[in-house]
Structure 1
Amino acid sequence: MTIAGKIIAGIKIPDSAMAKQATELLREHGSELLYNHTMRLYLFAALRGKQNSLKYDDELFYVSTMFHDLGLTPHYRSDDKRFEVDGANAARDFLKGYGVPQQSLQLVWDAIALHTSPGIAEYKEPEVALLNYAAALDVIGRDYDKLSASDREEIVKHFPRHNLKQKMIGEFLDGFQHKPHTTYGSINSDICVCMIPGFVKPDYCDLIRHSPWSE
């Protein structure tokens, strides 16, 4: 199904060559669950931006959304970096091929790298804040009631959730169970504790008390 240019909940899906290629990469390397999740994110965020009259680069934001979870996939994930950083690096490399300026590259990198960082992302540029907002809305239902029921229903009709509440934890875990140490200091460490037998996340108090400093 060609999604480019389609209007859903009053929002037009970007149809530039760059947007189409980003979507194709998601379709190629991501699962159906990740694809639907990602498309919902874009639409949720675009509606929020429209409601709040935010000014931002829609095409760059769309690419940020397409890449935001690709760091979980076998094609893009590394052995030693947070999955958010893997996705951010992949998006930056992709955009360099389109001659996108450095400031915009950094904006996209920040949006992806910080999309699981509540308490930080919402205070940055609209592209960064919107991606964090939409990810939290789709995964944990934050601000669920601020989106109209009709918009929610239309978006989910086009991009079904497919038991996301039961499947998303496993989708996340698949992306970083080989490198659980990279989740330190992030919300993803909770997934490792929940799903990896015997995993104990580092305790910051212990790290302070056992630092090599003498005093």
Structure 2
Amino acid sequence: MLGSYHWAQEKRGQMTLKEKLYLLQKTFIPTTQHLLQHVLPKQRETIFIDFNKIILPDSTLVKAAIEQLEETQKTSLIYHSWRSYFWGIAFSQIHGWQYDNEAFLVAALLHDIGLIDQHKTSKCQCFTLNSAMQAEQLCKYHHYPENKINLVTNAICMHMNGFTDLSQPKEVIMLQKGTSCDVIGSELHLIDKQFQKQCLENYPREKFNTSFKAYIQEEIKRHPHSRTAFLNKLGLSTLIQLSPFKE
């Protein structure tokens, strides 16, 4: 399946023409809907979600993932990873989803770590594969169950597909929605304003839009046939510019 960990390993993250056409087809409708929401915003009733009652898993693996993320010393990326987690949790509560909190948090914390240390896995043609391989290594070191490692690696690899596949496990969907919300503001209007305020106060943007667009350009130079490069041709940088988050 396009974007899965198996696909990324087999293709090294490099897309074929057929896969590009498939991705174009799958992203057209959600992108159009997102742009219409930006131009014609609608007032919708939101569900109250208590930010302070979200319980973070306190496992050794989670602590190790936090440490690995913080070692990047990239504040904007660190806070983005945390916000993506909380946006994902918000969507899970809105939709009433059951999920593995530990697996989702590990995936959220490490989903972009491959943007920083590209030299660690030089054969990768996509930063998500780099991220997933580092996450897998950490999970195996801490003897994490194989089925949960698969959740983590697939969530990381598939978050860059540009569309939400509702047939996937909830952890995959939550990371797709959480990262998309933080990068381009998709479905932000569904999340309670107080929850938004608390999330942004705890994990401020720190000029994330500017830094993330720079990461995108670096990724495109390294991997011109990756999903990131293709999605940018479809207008990713423009969508970031139009985001309700101004920085």
TM over 0.5: yes
In the superposition, relative to structure 1, how do residues 175 and 25 fare at CA in structure 2: closer, same or farther (>3 Å)? farther
Root-mean-square deviation over aligned CA pairs: 2.5
**Amino acid across the alignment from 1:60:** A
SS in 2 for 1:45: helix
Higher RCO, 1 or 2 (CA under 8 Å, sep at least 6)? 2
Q: Which amino acid aligns with 2:168?
A: K
Number of the residue aligned with 1:117: 161
Report what 1:46 is aligned to. 89
Matches within 5 A, 1:1-215: 8-74=51-117, 76=120, 78-183=122-227, 186-188=230-232
Distance 1:186 1:127 in 2: 24
Distance 1:186 1:58 in 2: 31
Distance in 1 of aligned mates of 2:134 and 2:177 = 22
Pick closer, same or farther for the CA change 1:189–1:90 going to 2, 3 Å: farther
The DSSP-based 3-state class of the residue aligned with 1:181 is coil
Shift in alpha-carbon separation, 1:184–1:152, aligned structure 2, 3 A: closer
Segments of structure 2 that go 5 or more residues without pairing to the other structure are: 1-49, 239-247
Greater displacement, 145-154 / 67-76:
67-76
Moved more, 43-52 or 105-114: 43-52
Give the Cα–Cα distance (whole angstroms) in 1 for the partners of residues 237 and 59 of structure 2: 41
Match of 2:42 in 1: none
Structure 1 stretches of 4+ with a deviation exceeding 6 A read: 191-194
For 1:63 and 1:105, the matched residues in 2 are separated by: 10
TM-score normalised by length of structure 2: 0.68
Letter of the 1:116 partner, please give it. M
Structure-2 separation of matches of 1:94 and 1:120: 26
Q: CA deviation at 1:24?
A: 0.7
Task: Pick the structure with greater CA Rg.
Answer: 1
Going from structure 1 to structure 2, the CA distance change for 1:31 and 1:104 (only over 3 Å counts) comes to: same
| TM-score (norm: length of structure 1) | 0.78
Q: Percent same amino acid among aligned pairs? A: 24
Query: Do 1:115 and 1:135's aligned partners in 2 also have CA atoms closer than 8 Å?
Result: yes
